[in-house]
Structure 1
Amino acid sequence: MPGRIGDIGPRAVSALVMAPVAVFAVWLGGLWTAAVIALVCVLLASEWSRMSAPSAWRGILAAVAVALLAAVAATHAFGLSEGLIALVAGAGLAALFAWRLGRSRTDAAYGVLYIGWPAVLFLWLRDGASAEGFYWVTLTFAVTWSADIAAFLTGSLLRGPKLWPRFSPNKTWSGFLGGLAAGTLAGALMTALPEQGTDSVVIGALLGLAGGAAAMAGDLWESALKRRFGVKDAGDIIPGHGGLLDRVDGLMFAIVVIAAGRFLIELGQVG
């Protein structure tokens, strides 16, 4: 337990630096948000290429980054459908480039989709500079961060049976349940904002529950990926606390789930 509790310091410092920057960029909206997402995609592409193809990471980085930037640009300029088309096409081209380099086509293509899918949906959630778009993204932040913090603290204090010891020996069922509870509460509380996507506390709680579960699933999935590639951390961009992918893995999954929730809500309103 002392080792786990000792991780609070680096986590707190990284949160104090990253959270205000993320919220400010989202608040600005439009081109500013797209530019920040593009920068994050390049950084994540660098970490992915170093993990998946360390002996040829520069070539894989170029292929994955170009595909991601094209998808972000298409989403910002035209919309979600065009962004997804660019993303799928970019994944195919990255796979072809990796094949020419003698590297795994699957890893290159998956890297584009793994990073790009939530990036494109993030821009769709933000919806330019609309107040409702700001709500959807801040909801995603609130649910993800609440679930992550509560899961860490609850798991560190209560311990108990392991959640998935094969890939993540430190995570426990107590932490998972604590994260679910915090995510659900965050989703419900966010419906009190004046500019919200839903004013139903029940729907907000369900979004928080689903988003919190997705955030913790994303954390576990990245642990499995790191185990597959034989690395401890995705990178070293955050001193003493690993890479950027280590900090946004849960957020990436939560974005997808909450975007699906927004789509279903708006589909119901249209119907």
Structure 2
Amino acid sequence: MTLLPPGKRFDWANFGVRVLSAVVLVPAVLFAVWTGAWLFLVMIAVAVALLAIEWGGMTAPGAPARVSAAVTAAVLAGVLMAHQGHVHLAWLAAGAGALAAAVIARGVSERPADAALGVVYIGIPCLCLVWLQATHQGPWWTMMLLAITWSADIGAYAVGNALKGPKLWPRISPNKTWSGFAGGLATAMAAGVAVVFFSPFQLNLAAAALVGLLGGLATMGGDLWESVLKRRFGVKDSGDLIPGHGGLLDRVDGLMFAVVVVAVARLVNARGWGH
């Protein structure tokens, strides 16, 4: 009789490191969200530089500094324009920056498409985040975005580790399970409802649950997309900046997708939906 191997226990050590990292990062992010536009802009600018450095190191090993600088400059040009209220020009600047980054990458014998993708991948979420924060009740919308994203990530990790079960997409991300997927969606919906319930939000609870559901789906979609990218470029993590998470790209991959969904929800809400 062959005994089945014991199931993998809940990884309390890694979970603890993740919690400690969050204890440090979360207050800093929330302080920037509520303190003022300029501190929020500085936070985004620092994040753009760090993300671009990781992107250059991951996709352009022959000339990481030049590609990272090109991606940083392109994204920040659009972010600054969006911060000044010139949103349409910001999108044009991001598009032009993607082309410029591709030209620079080609000039140093790196893949132009990967450099351009870096501008698109990092730039679109940043422009959406700047726009979202600047709208009416923008800090509350940003708070809901963060709550949904963090809850989806924590819920998926905790439930998936506790319940295990069938794998979600083993070829791309062998550790993710369907139980974790369901847990992440449930906690994301609960987070969306909780933020609206305990705040002066102009959004009904059913709409908040829907935003939570879509934001949770986007969060896990972004996480899977990052796994695809890392497999393509042959790296385990995008970096080692954050203990328990790897690089900053590993930490905000879900947020980068979710912010687009929440920005669209905010745009639709401005037209009278969800009241």
Q: If the TM-score is normalised by the length of the shorter chain, which range does it land in? A: over 0.9
The Cα of 1:68 is off from its aligned counterpart by 1.2
Distance 1:194 1:230 in 2: 44
Q: Offset at 1:197? A: 4.1
Query: How far is the alpha carbon of 1:267 from its aligned partner?
Result: 2.5
Report the CA distance between 1:4 and its aligned residue.
3.4
Q: Cα 1:3–1:55, aligned 2, differ >3 Å: closer, same or farther?
A: farther
RMSD, aligned α-carbons: 1.4
TM superposition score normalised by structure 2: 0.93
Please, which runs of 5 or more residues in structure 1 have no aligned partner? none
Q: How many residues align?
A: 266
Match of 1:210 among 200, 209, 214: 214
User: Per-residue deviation at 1:240?
Assistant: 4.9
Query: What is the TM-score normalised by the length of structure 1?
Result: 0.94
Question: Whole-Å Cα distance in 2 between the matches of residues 162 and 245 of structure 1?
Answer: 23
2:84 pairs with 1:77: yes
| 1:242 alignment counterpart | 246
Q: What amino acid maps onto 1:63 in structure 2?
A: A
The structure 1 segments of at least 4 consecutive aligned residues displaced by more than 6 Å after TM superposition are: none
Return closer, same or farther for 1:224/1:3 CA change in 2, 3 Å cut-off: farther
Structure with the bigger percentage of helix: 1
Determine what percentage of the aligned residue pairs are the same residue: 48
For 1:226, the equivalent position in structure 2 comes to: 230
Counterpart residue identity of residue 27, structure 2 = P
Deviates more, 1:112-121 or 1:188-197: 188-197
Give the AA of the match of 1:22.
V
**Cα deviation per residue 1:69-101 (whole Å; 9 max; x = unaligned)?**
111111111332222121111111111111111
Residue 150 of structure 1 corresponds to which residue in structure 2? 155
What's the offset of the Cα at 1:121? 0.5
Separation in 2, partners of 1:194, 1:182? 18
Aligned to 1:140: 145
**What is the rounded CA distance, in whole Å, between the counterparts of 1:81 and 1:30 in structure 2?**
19
Deviation at 1:55, TM superposition (A): 1.6
- Per-residue deviation, residues 149-171 of structure 1 (Å, max 9, x unmatched): 11001000111110011111000
Q: What CA distance in whole angstroms lies between the structure 2 residues aligned with 1:3 and 1:59? A: 42
SS of the residue aligned with 1:211?
helix
Partner secondary structure for residue 246 of structure 2: coil
SS at match of 2:271: helix
Post-superposition shift, 1:188?
Answer: 1.4
Instruction: Return the alpha-carbon distance in structure 1 between the equivalents of residues 86 and 31 of structure 2.
Output: 22
2:45 to 21, 24, 38: 38
Secondary structure in structure 1 of the residue aligned to 2:176: strand
C-alpha distance in 2, partners of 1:2/1:245? 27
Q: What's 2:5 paired with? A: none
Is the 1:75–1:124 Cα contact (8 Å) retained in structure 2?
yes
Contact 1:136/1:197, CA 8 A, preserved across alignment? no
Q: Which consecutive residues of structure 2, in runs of 5 or more, have no partner in the other structure?
A: 1-7
What is the CA deviation profile of residues 121-168 of structure 1, one whole-angstrom value per residue up to 9, with x for unaligned ones? 10111017x5x0011000001111111111001000111110011111
Instruction: Name the structure 1 match of 2:13.
Output: 6
Show CA shifts across 1:193-222 (max 9, x none). 443141x10000000000011001111110
CA offsets per residue over residues 207-263 of structure 1, 9 Å max, x none? Answer: 000001100111111011001100001001124531111111111111011111111
Answering whether residue 114 of structure 2 is matched by residue 107 of structure 1, we say: yes
Larger Rg: 2
Residue 55 (structure 1) aligned to one of 62, 65, 73: 62
C-alpha displacement of 1:13: 1.2
Q: Is the CA contact 1:5–1:156 (under 8 Å) kept in the aligned structure 2?
A: no
